[in-house]
Structure 1
């Protein structure tokens, strides 16, 4: 759940909604959306926020603009009606014709100016929206980095307390020779924690998880499951335990098993 929160705070979902991702990045986001329905809810909320902002920021023309334009047209039409003029007044006829043409030209210029102004306002609104999204993305990334730093400091503080925590190094078995991880064990507090930054395991698929076991008087005791995520840092607490002689990790169906699958033993270490 912490990893999903960090993924949301990374800002990649905002970029996905804006269409500002490469095809590869877009495919990765859509894969995450298929795996985690809660991410789709987040995308929906982002889309709603953008739509609400656009509607709230939309600039509508004044209510009296339509009536004003129609009034100008009616005035122009009334002026365009051919008056009863004696044949000896050709200059007045030309004046009315030119006045009507000037009124129509002025109306067209006003409409063009209004359209250009609305286009400029829309462009400004888009720039403001992009800036706000950029600020939100930057803030999310800062929070994500600060969270990782706090988790790393937590790990360091535990490793600097050898009198409280026993650091057990688990090494790979013939099933996974390159597997590595470290477990911090505090018998007095009955705490067992995994250092995620030290986990070097083959990536597990969606149908499987790694399960941590403690060997107590020769019997395996379940301590919980975890995923091998190379981007994760910090310590995660497993189930409580006061006594153990060794720790081991197996690959099990997602959610864990009652008993360890011995042929899927990936790493093991003695205290």
Structure 2
């Protein structure tokens, strides 16, 4: 269907073998028969739209000749000689060939225009895809910036709230360079840790850091957190209304009910 043989078949420009092949395929495949019908209709419409109206003199001459011949065919003998008939036949044949060539050129021009249109649409589609990707990237960046602003606003709110105490946890001999700031509001029973100012070795996938509150000499679990290179912002831990100290230990991932004192990393008193 894309080889161009169907158009040549409609134009009568195929040899007997090709003609037989097209007709066999049309009988076997309805899609090919439908394509042939569509091509024939397109050719007919093109011929109708480009038909040339004969002049009035030529129309009158033909009509008068028909009336005369109908009156008495024996009265008038053909005026054209054998040589003239051959010449006229040749002229008609050349005109038909010219028409066929015109259809070929018209079809080729339409095909070229179609290919150009498809290429243009494909280029426009690629540009739209690039624009959409850029818009998605900008939207993600905007959302990330908005989240960052909201987080900073929340941090400022905590530091401005007089009910919060900032408890500094210092490193133990296990990790002397470690440090962590804990924001604690006894009245609101809220505990926050500042990851942006945290100094702890990054934990692996099998371990987590666990925050503890020392209440009357007993450790109370306040939840687990991770230390990574991109840790930022403040996270809220479990609630508590009183504590004499806070501490951080390194525990198996998910935390433990009691702290592992051999892995005590940070400690800081509330008073």
| Band the TM-score falls in, shorter-chain normalisation | 0.5 to 0.7
Cα separation, partners in 2 of 1:168 and 1:70, compared to 1, 3 Å: farther
Per-residue CA deviation, residues 207-238 of structure 1 (Å, 9 max, x unaligned), is 22111011112221100011113434332111
Question: Aligned residue for 1:229?
Answer: 228
Aligned-partner Cα distance in 2 for 1:138–1:151: 20
Match of 2:111 in 1: 111
| In 1, Cα distance between equivalents of 2:256 and 2:41 | 81
Q: Which whole-Å deviations, capped at 9, do the CAs of 1:58-111 have from their partners, x for residues lacking one?
A: xxxxxx9996545346899xxxxxxxx953232222221122112112102101
1:40 alignment partner in structure 2 = none
Higher relative contact order, chain-length normalized (CA < 8 Å, sep 6+): 1
Instruction: Give TM-score scaled by structure 1 length.
Output: 0.66
1:94 matched residue in structure 2 = 94
Contact persistence 1:200–1:230 (CA under 8 A): no
Using the alignment, how far apart are the partners of 2:180 and 2:168 within structure 1? 6
The aligned runs of 1:100-249 (5 Å cut-off) are: 100-161=100-161, 163-249=162-248
Q: For the pair shown, which has the larger CA radius of gyration, 1 or 2?
A: 2
Structure-2 separation of matches of 1:67 and 1:199: 78
Q: In structure 2, what is the Cα distance between the partners aligned to 1:124 and 1:164?
A: 59
> For residues 262 and 67 of structure 1, do their structure 2 counterparts lie closer, same or farther at Cα, with a shift above 3 Å needed?
farther
**Corresponding pairs, count:** 199
| Gap runs ≥5 in structure 2 | 1-33, 47-83
List per-residue Cα deviations over 1:101-134 (Å, max 9, x = no partner): 1211210210121121022112212211221221
For 1:156-175, what per-residue CA distance to the aligned partner results, in whole angstroms no more than 9, with x for missing partners?
A: 222233x3111011122222
Q: Residue 108 and residue 202 in structure 1: after superposition, are their counterparts in 2 closer, same or farther (change >3 A)?
A: same
Q: Which residue of 2 aligns with 1:43?
A: none
Quote how far apart the aligned CAs of 1:183 are.
0.3
Q: CA RMSD in A?
A: 2.6
Unaligned ranges ≥5, structure 1: 1-63, 77-84
- Structure 1 stretch 164-173 or stretch 123-132: which is displaced more? 123-132
